[in-house]
Amino acid sequence: MDFILSSLIFTPLLAALIVLLLPAHLQKPMKAVALLGALVQMGLAVLLYSRFDGGAFANGQQGYQFVEKLSWIGFSLGNLGRFQIDYFVGVDGISISMVLLTGIIGVIGVISSWTVTQNVKGYFLLYLLLLTSVMGCFLALDFFLFYLFFEFMLLPMYFLIGIWGGPNREYASIKFFIYTLVGSLFILIVMIGLYTSVVDPGATALQLGLAKAGVDASPEALRQVQQMLQQNAIESQDLVHTFSIPAMMEAANFLPDSLLHVLSGVRLWNLPVRFIAFLLLFAGFAIKVPVVPVHTWLPDAHVEAPTPISVLLAAILLKVGGYGLIRIVYPIFPDGAAYFSVLVGGLGVLSILYGALNALAMNDLKKLIAYSSVSHMGFVLLGLASLTTEGVNGAVYMMFSHGIISAMLFLVVGVIYDRTHDRVIQNFRGLATVMPAYTTFVVIAFFASLGLPGFSGFISELLVLVGGFSAPEATGMLPRWLTVVAVFGLLLAAAYYLWALQRMFFGKFWIFPGLREQANLSDLNLREYLMLVPLALLALLFGIFPHLLLDKTGMAVNGFTELMLLNGQEQLNMVLSSILR
């Protein structure tokens, strides 16, 4: 183990401890430490990305690279078996893009935060804790560890919005906290159910003497434990329950008499309990995506959050929801994914259209972009629901691409707000004549977001639509009409972006009279160039050379779709047959 993943997770935490020790009046050193911590994390993310060789998605630990696994909490529960929680982290093709995205956006967010003057120490402490939590979510392979990082994101974001936000920051922060907390409770319920149902075959083999301490159990020993498990041939005190996500992905690791076994036959509200578990997990992560109709916290949070926090929220925090669906919900419950594929795809299309129509109706530029995020994240659901290689690749690519582009969008909104303290579209006209450089980056961000060829947004949307159109023949999971309807979301995106561009930036210069005295419409400064130029180049780079990302994710996505199609229909038939007995 070279501990590069632990370094990625805890470097911002180390920087936070240094900030904590600095006297409150040393604001510039605090900002420098925060920037250094974010830069080191980004450097490690780039190093990891360059060293990652595109490993395949798999049930077992062999599908992950740079794995670090250490026993954390473990004790005997007598006849209930052994309680075990591991510090278990690793990276594969599904998570590598999110790790790189988090590293990049973390640095951009610190640069954007350079103008913060109120309680600087508290701000950067919370910011660095947030970076630690997000990176931990993308690397955790133990469900309990993932949940800790997932929950820990709530507090920094709540305070960052509630203290440094706009006039209605208390309402927005409480709404964000309550929505996300409810989603976390859904996840917690299923996590506990999974823990009581799943056994770690490796640790159980050690308990039974089939493996030696300090040495990984052989494949033969693992299979022997799984066979004994299904035959109820292991005493309960020798069972080692686990929160390991890879272990939960194998049906053979479920106790045959457990609630969540595919043949349990238990029903709740006339649905198999595994379907209920899928829906609870899906709802928990859907709130984070967010998916219509549980999206209403997002526009309020974005409008009230300071610009750097809006950047983090849109670029990486929303991706935790999509990542949770791909990493946890679908692989653990492939039967539910197959059964509810039309529901998931339908919610994706609803989000695409509803978000786009609301964006079209917005006068506040920041709200327009917030609703565009709801619309674009709908493509993630649509691609995932198709369960085609193209569709899932498009979903992963969309999360990365939207992270880059949405960060740029919220930054350009922050530029005009810093100068005028106003974001109302109808209060500006002809800004291109006084802010030409700024207008150039707005045009790039808008066209990248609406999917112009040459930008990364085009690649992601193309892959999702190709996957959706091919799904009826390839997987039978998604009716073609849903994808046809989703195409209208692209037309609406062009409408709301071009409308905003025409109203605000072209024609004769005009600004609302009430803003003239306080407005300072100077063009971009060096700090703003440092934020916008890298994002624009990345949107172009991954739009022209998509293989830079697809080569890293392709094998994992192929393995994911094969696993889902193989296990999904098989387990679905078993679940349905069990309730008919």
Task: State yes or no: pLDDT of 277 exceeds 60.
Answer: yes
Eight-state DSSP code of residue 165: S
Range of the domain at 541: 4-194+271-569
Q: What is the pLDDT of residue 422?
A: 87
Assigned domain for 403 exists: yes
Assigned domain for 264 exists: no
As a whole number of angstroms, the distance between CA 434 and CA 419 comes to 13
What is the reported pTM?
A: 0.93
Percent of the chain residues topping a pLDDT of 70: 96
* Main-chain dihedrals φ then ψ at residue 198, nearest 5 degrees: -110, 140
Task: State yes or no: pLDDT of 79 exceeds 80.
Answer: no
Supply the mean pLDDT for the chain: 89
Range 89-97 average pLDDT: 92
Q: What is the pLDDT of residue 370?
A: 93
Inter-helix orientation angle 96-112/547-580, to 10° = 120
Assigned domain for 136 exists: yes
> Token digits for 370?
């917030």
Residue 326 confidence class, pLDDT cut points 50, 70, 90: very high
* Main-chain dihedrals φ then ψ at residue 430, nearest 5 degrees: 70, 30
Strands 428-429 and 271-272: unpaired
Assigned domain for 388 exists: yes
As a whole number of angstroms, the distance between CA 292 and CA 354 comes to 8
Range 141-147 average pLDDT: 94
Assigned domain for 72 exists: yes
Task: State yes or no: pLDDT of 466 exceeds 90.
Answer: yes
Assigned domain for 320 exists: yes
Q: Where is average pLDDT lowest: 56-60, 163-167, 374-378? A: 56-60
Range 390-406 average pLDDT: 95
Task: State yes or no: pLDDT of 74 exceeds 90.
Answer: no
Task: State yes or no: pLDDT of 86 exceeds 90.
Answer: no
Number of structural domains (the chain) is: 1
Assigned domain for 254 exists: no
- Which letter, b or e, does each residue of 419-439 get, where b requires 16 or more Cβ atoms within 10 Å of its Cβ? bbebbebebbbbbbeebeebb
Assigned domain for 241 exists: no
Contacts of 351 (CB under 8 A, 6+ apart): 289, 291, 292, 295, 374, 375, 377, 378, 381
Task: State yes or no: pLDDT of 401 exceeds 60.
Answer: yes
Q: What is the pLDDT of residue 517?
A: 66
Query: Is 358 in contact with 294 (CB distance < 8 Å)?
Result: no
- Which letter, b or e, does each residue of 56-85 get, where b requires 16 or more Cβ atoms within 10 Å of its Cβ? bbbbebebbbbbbbeeeeeeeeeeebbebb
The three-point CA angle 467-345-347 to 5° equals 145
Task: State yes or no: pLDDT of 570 exceeds 90.
Answer: no
Range 430-436 average pLDDT: 91
Q: Which residue has the higher pLDDT, 368 or 59?
A: 368
Q: What is the pLDDT of residue 1?
A: 58
As a whole number of angstroms, the distance between CA 154 and CA 177 comes to 6
> Token digits for 73?
């909490």
Task: State yes or no: pLDDT of 291 exceeds 60.
Answer: yes
What is the enclosing helix (H) or strand (E) of 90? strand 82-91
Spatial CA neighbour of 375 closest among 404, 394, 355 = 355
Spatial CA neighbour of 559 closest among 239, 306, 277, 330 = 330
Residue 518 confidence class, pLDDT cut points 50, 70, 90: low
Percent of the chain residues topping a pLDDT of 90: 63
Q: What is the pLDDT of residue 571?
A: 82
Q: What is the pLDDT of residue 212?
A: 77
Q: What is the pLDDT of residue 312?
A: 93
Range 149-154 average pLDDT: 91
